[in-house]
Amino acid sequence: MKAIVITQPGGPEVLQMQEVATPHPTGSQVRIKVFAAGVNRPDVFQRKGNYPPPPDAPQDIPGLEVAGIIEQTGPEVTIWKPGDSVCALLAGGGYAEYALAEASHCLPIPVAFNHYSDAFARAASLPETVFTVWHNVFQRGQLRKGERFLVHGGTSGIGITAIQLARAFGASVFTTAGSEEKCAACDALGADISINYREADFEEQLRELGTDVILDMVGGNYIPKNLRLLREEGRLVFINTMKGGKVTGEDVVDFSLIMRKRLTVTGSTLRNRGHAFKAALAHEIRENVWPVMERGAFQTVIAETFPLAEAARAHALMETSDHIGKIILLNQWP
């Protein structure tokens, strides 16, 4: 089969299309004929050599989420059969014509997507972001109806998902983004307040309101601002530190705020978690989030699609951060 291989750590140009062995499912795995694969920031980190895959995942083929048709099942699989359309969370290997997934990490294509000619592309935009948001915002962050929620990076895949799910479950939603165009996109998705961080200080804008839960992928000097914004019993959840894990300059982290306001600071990564954890997460998502998808109350936002062979161009776009929504790779099946 054809797959995109990371030939060495480096820039987008190290992503090369190569012929590799087609994988065969064993045990509880399924083999998916991939129609679409999502591009995510961790793929960029892996390409640069900063985010190694777990030992049981393909070591040089990136890709954490796909959508397609199950072509073959392992001997232990009973919940899916060949011909089923699914989207799936992977530990790697998604940038390919075929990918292996744990059967319990697959979800059906939402029925509401059947009305669209690009249903597989839309479905491929879901797993990595939905799994991440559900675990970090609703499980770790314990976001509840009526609370105030802030997500940074509102037009990223994570941001778009977090805005809509927080809104669907009854929270007020605040977000930050890097342009007026991006803020308008966040507003259209249901954000109550969208702040252009290049023009205004989000802490100043939200100080009087405060927040109950913050999902942060920025880190750096956002850390003390986040802590000051949290209300009593607030929860700060980290899923990345793109600006680093340290505060620079004159600002400092006042840890006494954590005691005085009884704050919770937590975080997580998803890729290296075990099969059982991801299976339980998939079950919760199907029970709680998929009904939102099925009734058409969730809008997928696709910034751009590329043929699989042009994965390098997709990564170059990802690194500009100029896009709004998900970047998707498409296989050109006849």
Contact 98, 32 (CB under 8 A): yes
pLDDT in tens, 217-249: 999 999 999 999 999 999 999 999 888 888 888
pLDDT, greater one: 66 or 334: 66
Query: Which residues have a Cβ under 8 Å from the Cβ of 274 and sit 6 or more positions away?
Result: none
The pLDDT mean for the chain works out to: 96
Q: What is the pLDDT of residue 113?
A: 93
Q: Tens digits of per-residue pLDDT, 18-47?
A: 999 999 999 999 999 999 999 999 999 999
Place of tokens 């913050």: 214
CA–CA dist 42, 295 (Å, integer): 30
Distance CA 135, CA 149 (A): 15
Q: How confident is the model at residue 331 (pLDDT cuts 50, 70, 90)?
A: very high
Q: Does domain 129-267 have CATH number 3.30.420.40?
A: no
Q: What is the mean pLDDT of residues 92-97?
A: 98
> At residue 250, does pLDDT exceed 90?
no
Q: Do domains 2-126+271-330 and 129-267 have the same CATH topology?
A: no
Q: Which structure tokens are listed for 194?
A: 């969208």
* Homologous superfamily of the 2-126+271-330 domain (CATH): Medium-chain alcohol dehydrogenases, catalytic domain (3.90.180.10)
Q: With beta carbons less than 8 A apart as the criterion, state whether 107 and 87 touch.
A: yes
- For the chain, the domains span 2-126+271-330, 129-267
Strands (E), 9-118: 15-19, 29-39, 65-73, 85-89, 98-102, 106-108
Predicted local distance difference test score (pLDDT) of residue 246: 85
By percentage, how much of the chain surpasses pLDDT 90? 93
Q: Which residues contact 232 (CB under 8 A, 6 or more apart)?
A: 261, 262
* Nearest alpha-carbon partner for 12 in 68, 109, 95: 95
Cα–Cα distance measured from residue 282 to residue 106, given in angstroms and rounded to the nearest whole number: 7
**Which has the minimum average pLDDT: 63-72, 111-120, 162-171, 223-232?**
111-120
Which residue's structure tokens are 């956002």?
222
In total, the chain counts a number of residues equal to 334
Does pLDDT of 195 surpass 80?
A: yes
Q: Roughly how many angstroms between the first and final C-alpha of the chain, as a whole number?
A: 15
Whether the per-residue pLDDT at 332 is higher than 70: the answer is yes
Q: In which band, very low, low, confident or very high, does the pLDDT at 334 lie, cut at 50, 70 and 90?
A: low
Contact 4, 16 (CB under 8 A): yes
Cα–Cα distance measured from residue 123 to residue 163, given in angstroms and rounded to the nearest whole number:
18
Q: CB of 234 within 8 A of CB of 263?
A: yes
